[in-house]
A and B are shown apart, each in its own frame.
Chain A
């Protein structure tokens, strides 16, 4: 069996990639994907930790986190859609009417 530490490490890397991607990419969909990546890192972490502690709650947490991520995607896409409807772009940089 893989040492949970490795999994944790993978999670950390995933998280950093996700975070990096979240602010380096312009496309809203890609940013959403990056956020999903971060959430996935969380899931991995939970699972790894659950394995480490031999505790079932971690699995439950992971399942819940997946549900949350799903809801988030649903809402996110809906919001992006309305943004596209108004601004006709999904580039985050071009949506800057509100500032200062």
Chain B
């Protein structure tokens, strides 16, 4: 089945960036250092931007066309494979192709990906091209950037799990390259390796899952075939659950969930736009996308047969949500806080998806649709907000760098190269009071944080409530689900704390260093995406009004024609729920995230700005409030800060240590043993054979004594021997 129309050109969406990759890379090698290339083309940034813009336009066109119906297109046959039945001897040939598949899920992620890629490209031009450290390597950045975008867009558009995986790996590669962008830093090199390797572990399972799926579905991995209800029903659901479980491990790796989460914080070694795009907004969503893709299996399979997997997914989500939030409590690095926050929020979505899958598998179609919608909406909100947060943090870091540069040059002109040495531009301990100095950034950060925390009426609130509600609704039916349900509820409060902590430490209070006093917002390009996304986040109610259910596959249902009806329904659903339990739950969650978490944060880290400095009014109240709370409460957390829990939180709950030890001690140890076995044993055997035969040679040749008498005697003996032999036979 193949549609025609705009979808025929959909393949260009990933293809254009992919083709731009070599162009930028090699032109960069050629033109590096020429002023035109550096100033006007922004070392490839403009080329990339053009390409991403074109992709975005095309993507929007495709989205418009396929908003309400599924579209598919074949591109070419990738390979053919044949199977032999050893019983009958029959040989069947399976064709495996490449194609485009567009449905609701695709549409949503396509928008997120294309839109954010474009915005972050704009941001990068501002961020990357003004830093001298990036001279001579920016073309590399843009090349890898567009390749990544191609991977992300391709993954979303792919029409089969295999092609999903292929683009998934492509993203992994780009992630690796971009984390290691500052290749000369050992920490970057280490982080890049770690990221690739950890996700690779997940990918291995994903491949195995694909292989199992391939065999279950008779050589098909394309959505059109595997999502067919009859085909799903024909499959043994136990096997299916194993296969999907394997694939889920891949998703765990990619989306940095427990226990394969260790790579994400380190991945912040990459340039900030990379963190924004790859490690917050798009690539880490790939795992979610994969799990969301599994939805039809749960709907189609035998009732309850796959619910174990759904529970596992939700539990992993719950555990990660709390764990990441805990670690985020103690992080001082601005980007690392955001990284842990990303982990935690992705975990929410996993829990939501788990609930949706559970519902789907147990026959609660409407609830499933709701939970699915909530999860995907959260994905959307989180992508927008987190992308913005990262860009804002990038803005902060960038300006801190500039300020540091200025300050350092002001103070002493004697030495120029000291400024990189000991100053950490990313540490929140060096910031403070930036709200007035960086109004746009502070606003963006403010809105973003609120969205993540789940402040009512803003961004993530709508979706987060849905996720918590869904999880609890499952928990009412399935007691094991209480674990993730409780965990994410606690996590909501923790989110409130660490996000507020981050904001207050950075923007409120007095500047903690001299550098922070000299910060200005001065870089062009950067505000564009920040402002855009601020409005996107604030306007989430609009998207919510299109009904969360819309994000779900069933296009026929749950789709309000009247826009304001939708908003009304949404508001009613959240704040005046007819189900008392859910109503209470909502307010508990609001209370936790809105009141408890931020209050603690204010108490610990709040404070007023410098005298004479004034933030924009929409933030000033929060700063004032925090100053008040802070001064009222005599809250001392030094004891807690020195506790062993805090220590282990600083050490990221020892996961990295354990993994490193396992790798270095066990695997490398075994490897050394194997190498020794090769050289000592196998080669040893050969050398022994050789030396033994040399010795034998010595012995044998020693029989040739040189005395003719001995030779005669041997002849005589030989005669005798022949004599005996012949006699014996005769």
Residues of A within 8 A of B (CB): 19-20, 22-26, 31, 92-93, 95-100
Contact = CB atoms under 8 A, between A and B. Distances in A.
Interface string B684-723: 0000000000000000011011111110110110010000
Nearest to B713: A23
6 contacts: A22-B712, A23-B712, A92-B707, A93-B707, A95-B708, A96-B707
- Select the residue from A23, A24, A95 with max chain B CB neighbours within 10 A: A23
Contacts of B719: 19
Given A22-B716, A23-B715, A92-B709, 18 more contacts: A19-B716, A23-B709, A23-B712, A23-B713, A24-B709, A25-B709, A26-B709, A31-B708, A31-B709, A93-B709, A95-B706, A95-B707, A95-B708, A96-B706, A97-B706, A98-B706, A99-B704, A99-B705
Contacts of B705: 96, 99
Ranked nearest first, the 7 interchain pairs of A and B with the lowest CB-CB distance are: A99-B706, A96-B706, A23-B712, A23-B713, A100-B701, A92-B708, A22-B712
Q: How many B residues touch the partner, as a band?
A: 10 to 19
Contacts of B715: 23
Contacts of B713: 23
Contacts of A93: 707, 709
Contacts of B702: 100
Interface of B: 701-702, 704-710, 712-713, 715-716, 719
Contacts of A97: 706
- Select the residue from B701, B708, B715, B719 with max chain A CB neighbours within 10 A: B708
A20 B712 CA distance: 9
A55 to B, nearest CB: 26
B704 to A, nearest CB: 6
A24 B704 CA distance: 17
- Select the residue from A19, A25, A97 with max chain B CB neighbours within 10 A: A19
Nearest to B710: A23
A100 B704 contact: yes
Nearest to A21: B712
A4 B435 CA distance: 135
A24 B716 CA distance: 11
- Select the residue from B709, B713, B716, B719 with max chain A CB neighbours within 10 A: B709
A4 B425 CA distance: 121
B723 to A, nearest CB: 12
Nearest to A94: B707
B714 to A, nearest CB: 9
Contacts of A92: 707-709
A59 B710 CA distance: 34
Nearest to A19: B716
A26 B713 CA distance: 12
Nearest to B711: A23
Nearest to A24: B709
- Select the residue from B710, B712, B715, B719 with max chain A CB neighbours within 10 A: B712
Nearest to B717: A23
B710 to A, nearest CB: 8
A98 to B, nearest CB: 6
A96 B704 CA distance: 10
B287 to A, nearest CB: 74
A19 B718 CA distance: 13
A93 B705 CA distance: 10
- Select the residue from B705, B706, B716 with max chain A CB neighbours within 10 A: B706
A99 B702 CA distance: 8
B64 to A, nearest CB: 94
A65 to B, nearest CB: 19
A26 B706 CA distance: 13
Contacts of B710: 23
B293 to A, nearest CB: 78
A88 B359 CA distance: 111
Contacts of B704: 99-100
- Select the residue from A20, A96, A97 with max chain B CB neighbours within 10 A: A96
A31 B659 CA distance: 83
Nearest to B719: A19
A34 B704 CA distance: 22
A75 to B, nearest CB: 15
A5 to B, nearest CB: 20
Contacts of A25: 709
Nearest to B702: A100
Contacts of B708: 31, 92, 95
A31 B711 CA distance: 13
Contacts of A26: 709
A93 B709 CA distance: 7
